[in-house]
Amino acid sequence: MKWTGISSANQRRVVDAIRGGIPKAVKTIGWLLKLIIPISLAVRLLQYTGLLEYIAQFLHPVFQAVGLPGASAIAFVCSLFLPLYAPIAIIGTLHLTIREISILAIMCLISHNTLFESAVQKKTGSSFWFVWCLRVVMSFVAAFIWNLLLPEDMGMPVGQSGVSLETLAFWPMLLDWGIGALKLCLIMALVVTALMILQRLMEAFYVMDWLAHFFAPFMRVMGLSKDSSFLWFVANIVGLTYGSAILIEQMENKRLNVADARMLNNHLAISHSLLEDTMLFVAIGVPLFWVTVPRVLLAMAVVWVLRLLRVR
């Protein structure tokens, strides 16, 4: 097969990238599905039984201390177990001001889908519980700081949505979960496969070397190794969930030592997916600045503090 305008050497690179990327993608997808399916089912059962709302009630006093109504605890607890679409749907049913949504947004951006993403970070060298606790604690630290810094008047309250959160019967609920899980698995399989092939293409054509060189100065400022630059870029473009395949593959190939990987994980625990996740909240009225720049600065501060304390 001949491709017009492409040399035989480059054609060979493309074919090798596809052949090398697909087996890695299949292996990673299998690992991801073993996590996603049971976790999503467990959370759906917690929602169905009402236990999730019961857990959230214990956090009411804490949320009031950071400028949020107690009802917002439900959205945060939900975000701990699920991607951001779930807490955003809940936020749409609450009477919140833009200021309150901004505070809740930073908490959810730091601590969303923590069980799955902490498992990914464990696979790349960090302690599951250290990363999980770091994210939850820093969510409240960020909320406390945001409550002090945000202007008092940031806009009119967001009206309650017309969506009814009806409790489905058990089997319809299970069917609804199954359809949603199947869609997620298909999307993830496509994205992970594309990312693994893209990564190998970038390696074959030396794009990764260029990216590493370009981002190296920024890595030093953030307290990270210059070898972290490509992984930092991936995690902030596609996030930890979709980027997990590349993160894990890079660690398995010893592209980053364990100490540097842990520092990168500490940074990414606070700030990742600056593209998609951020825009989800911007779409519902949260100012772009307050969910990007301060989050990156907070992640930098965490890394430098941990370096000074020699916590790796």
Residues facing residue 158 across a β-bridge: 96
For residue 98, is it within any domain?
Answer: yes
Query: Over the stretch 3-50, which tens digit does the pLDDT of each residue have?
Result: 555 677 788 888 888 888 888 788 877 877 776 788 778 777 877 887
Residues in the chain: 312
pLDDT by residue (tens digit) across 197-227? 887 888 788 887 787 778 888 999 999 998 8
Identify whether the C-beta of residue 247 lies closer than 8 Å to the C-beta of residue 124. Answer: yes
Q: What is the pLDDT of residue 39?
A: 72
- How many structural domains are present in the chain? 1
In a domain, 8, yes or no: no
Q: Is residue 10 assigned to a domain? A: no
The answer to the question of residue 292 being in a domain is yes
What are 69-77's contacts with CB under 8 Å, separation 24+? 69/94, 69/96, 69/100, 72/96, 72/100, 72/104, 75/104, 75/108, 76/104, 76/107, 76/108, 76/111, 76/139, 77/52
Does the residue 217 lie in any domain? yes
Helix (H, G, I), strand (E, B) or coil at 304: helix
Asked whether residue 1 is assigned to any structural domain, the reply reads no
131 and 265 Cβ atoms separated by less than 8 Å: yes
Amino acid at 207: V
pLDDT tens profile 281-296: 887 788 999 999 999 9
Query: Does residue 306 carry a pLDDT above 50?
Result: yes
How far out from the chain centre does Cα 94 lie? Answer: 23
